[in-house]
Chains A and B, each alone.
Chain A
Amino acid sequence: MNKTWVTPGGVHPPENKHQSVTQGIGQLPIPEKLVIPLSQHIGAAAIPCVEVGQAVLKGQVIAKPAGVVSIPMHAPTSGTISAIEHRPIAHSSGMLAPCIEITSDAADTWIDHEGISDYEHISPAKLLEMVANAGISGMGGAGFPSAVKLNPGRQRPIDTLIINATECEPYITADDSAIRERAAEIVEGIKILSAILDHPHNIMIGIEDNKPEAIEALAPHVEGTGISVVVFPTKYPSGGEKQLIYILTGKELPSGKLPADIGMVCINIGTTYAIKRAIIDGEPLVSRVTTVTGDAVGIQRNYDTLIGTPVSHLLAHSEYDEQAGGRVVMGGPMMGFTLPSAEVPIVKTTNCILAPSYAEIPDDEPAQPCIRCGMCAEACPASLLPQQLFWYAQAEDHERLEAHNLFDCIECGACSYVCPSNIPLVQYYRAAKGEIRHAREEKVKADHARERFEFHKQRIEQAEREKEEKRAARREAALKAKANPPAAKSETKSEAKPSSSAADIIAAAQARAAAKQASPEDQQAKLERTIAAAEQRLKVAEEKLAEAIESNSDKQAVLSAAVENTRQKLEQSKTKLAELQA
């Protein structure tokens, strides 16, 4: 018998598990349409690799993983892709998300697939690749890609493998019934995990003492395998990763660390079954066990449900009475959320569909002021101070929230459950966490913008400086030219020539222009035009000069110079024309 430790806090809500385990795992008829959301896991959404109208077989890849922390999606049944568009999914926001819809052909034809039986002789890397290709993400609730979790790297050797069969939340019996019926395959899956993780010393299945049948079912299969089944008293929430690690090993997972950092990996029992199917049978993850329960449904039991099955399909086959209960919850009564519509599909993390009657789970009572009773602090399994967090969340005091370890909150809902004032505490924490994450992102963005702004400023300044330098150089050159007497002009010119590239360019351009005007007729015409224009200009200039002389303006000198200049040019043109004509 393994020693177990007792976590702080916790609550004992009515279990309500017996209703749904009286019958075994059922099979549903294949729904007409299945909707597969592209993001059913933590990490980047998968990228569709099929087109509308394409025929697919069961188990065919329909979306490829986008990056390392991502998983592929497979067709849960054979049929045709009927849409790739935004659909409502199981998300508390009620927003739409990209999905692939498959219209079933009712044949449920598998794609060719093949597993391997001697996984002991295959390298862990190859096994991990198979797990990744099977699209397996954690099936306990968070949905973290399993292949990433099982690959902690060489610097973090794993000596403890924990299989989470706790299923501590009321109503849910998906894992319980899976163990009862599939114990052999689950143990096989654990052996594969052990091979992937290079045979950890300790392999433990953590299970609460309210599942005696499951414990009994596991016993013959784990005999002589080195896997121990550790039974501990039922308490909510024992199934949280941190809580389970403490219960089984007495080690506390430091804040902000992953189990792999202390040499542990924690895997849900449903995931081990999926891994067995992936390796031994070569089947990707296309179905899972889901509990349908609550007083508003006539038949309460577990179903082996295809991923993508609409919730309404499950309810329709469970004698759902809409009058009896107003809402449908995905997940359990503690951590689940009310679905925006019954059309949302079952995803890889959906362990329960709860349709409670009004009497069973009444609507939330209005929240009343906090009376500082401290019951929440006693119930908190993470040893936090929920009422302090509540005040700081109301005040949006992010600094103090972080100082009080808000991010260690697992959102289990134990504090809200015990609160005599019915304060929706968890919602405050979720909102505060969202705000803090948002503020962090904004900070990163602001820093980036500052960097870019500073670079922009620097660039502008540099351009300005360069311009100023050029201007100064030109001014200097002009001064020099003025200072030198015209007699030395040719000399300075020849000196200046190699340095002033601009002058070269202009001269070259003029030469090119001259070369272009090869025909003498053109040149003559141009010269004539020039002469005409110059005559016109001369006339205007002379008029202006006359005016200036009359009004005795101080522009006289400038104007007379201009007149002289124009006249010279005119004469030049005239001589040129004469030359050309001659």
Chain B
Amino acid sequence: MIELISQNPILAALAALVGLAIVFGALLGFAAEKFKVEGDPIVEQIDELLPQTQCGQCGFPGCRPYAESIANGDEINKCPPGGQSTINAIASLLDIPAPELDAEHGEESEVKTVAYIREDECIGCTKCIQACPVDAIMGAAKFMHTVIADECTGCDLCVEPCPVDCIDMLPVEETIADWRWSIPAKPGLIATDKRGELANQPAKEDAA
């Protein structure tokens, strides 16, 4: 055997290569089985960045379907609740330029809202309960319903189905516990130019 190989170097090389190919093939095959990743990891990562309001403003039934669609090449600017910060985060994840929010799907709102049912007007039709994507509404047929404010994502999907229009989207009030410092206002081009500031101020008020 050894003689045969030493006499035919081509054969030896061939045997070695084939042998290596088999070994690595087996190794790769094993690794593919052993370290198999369920689902598409990029979908998971995009889904992590989306705000999970499940509001459907993007045109998909929930955040995950939109994440899947983005993974398949959809636009990333269809999420108004996430706003520009979500767009930026997804853009940096996918390494693409961040577009502006698509106004067609809605505007980014500064204030977070939660649904509130005017309880004495509720007729107990359960339509809002069926519409709620996160099961944040309590109630039963012909009984008053109420929103669990802590669970509400503010998607406003329950507002439309209500036959008596007793659901309001109320802004979440800021409390002393969640008050935050804000970034100081940026100084003008010449910070010491008080005159310019004074001259600008009335003009600003007029514009407002």
Give me the interface of A with B, judged by CB distance under 8 Å: 39, 89, 91-93, 95-97, 365-369, 393-394, 396, 424, 427-428, 430-435, 437-438, 442, 445-450, 452-457, 459
Q: Does B176 contact A (CB under 8 A)?
A: yes
Q: Which 6 A-B pairs have the closest CB atoms?
A: A434-B180, A446-B52, A430-B181, A93-B179, A449-B52, A452-B134
Across the interface, name the chain A residue whose C-beta is closest to B51: A446
Chain B proximity of A432: nearest CB distance (Å): 8
In Å, the complex CA distance between A39 and B182 comes to 23
Partner of A453, one of B62, B179, B191, B192: B62
Partner of B180, one of A365, A396, A435, A454: A435
Q: A396-B183, A434-B180, A445-B52 are in contact. List 12 more A-B contacts (CB 8 A).
A: A366-B194, A367-B191, A368-B187, A368-B191, A427-B183, A433-B181, A437-B180, A438-B178, A442-B51, A450-B63, A453-B134, A456-B134
Residues of A within 8 A of B136 (CB): 452
Known: A367-B191, A368-B192, A438-B178. A449 touches B183 (CB 8 A): no
Partner of A450, one of B47, B132, B135: B47
23 contacts between A and B (CB under 8 A): A39-B176, A89-B176, A91-B176, A93-B176, A93-B179, A95-B175, A95-B176, A95-B179, A366-B191, A366-B192, A366-B194, A424-B184, A431-B182, A433-B181, A434-B180, A435-B180, A438-B180, A447-B52, A449-B52, A450-B47, A452-B151, A453-B133, A453-B134
Query: Which residues from 74 to 132 on chain B have a C-beta closer than 8 Å to any C-beta of chain A?
Result: 85, 132
- Number of B residues near A (Cβ < 8 Å) is 31
Residues of B within 8 A of A365 (CB): 192
Partner of A394, one of B178, B183, B191: B183
Residues of A within 8 A of B153 (CB): 445, 449
Residue from the set B52, B85, B178, B179 with the largest chain A CB neighbour count within 10 Å: B52
In Å, the complex CA distance between A438 and B54 comes to 20
Chain A proximity of B128: nearest CB distance (Å): 14
A455 and B179 contacting across the interface, CB-CB below 8 Å: no
Chain A proximity of B170: nearest CB distance (Å): 17
Across the interface, name the chain A residue whose C-beta is closest to B180: A434
A92 and B181 contacting across the interface, CB-CB below 8 Å: yes
Chain B proximity of A32: nearest CB distance (Å): 26
Residues of B within 8 A of A366 (CB): 187, 191-192, 194
Residues of A within 8 A of B176 (CB): 39, 89, 91, 93, 95-97
Query: Which residues from 154 to 208 on chain B have a C-beta closer than 8 Å to any C-beta of chain A?
Result: 174-176, 178-184, 187, 191-192, 194
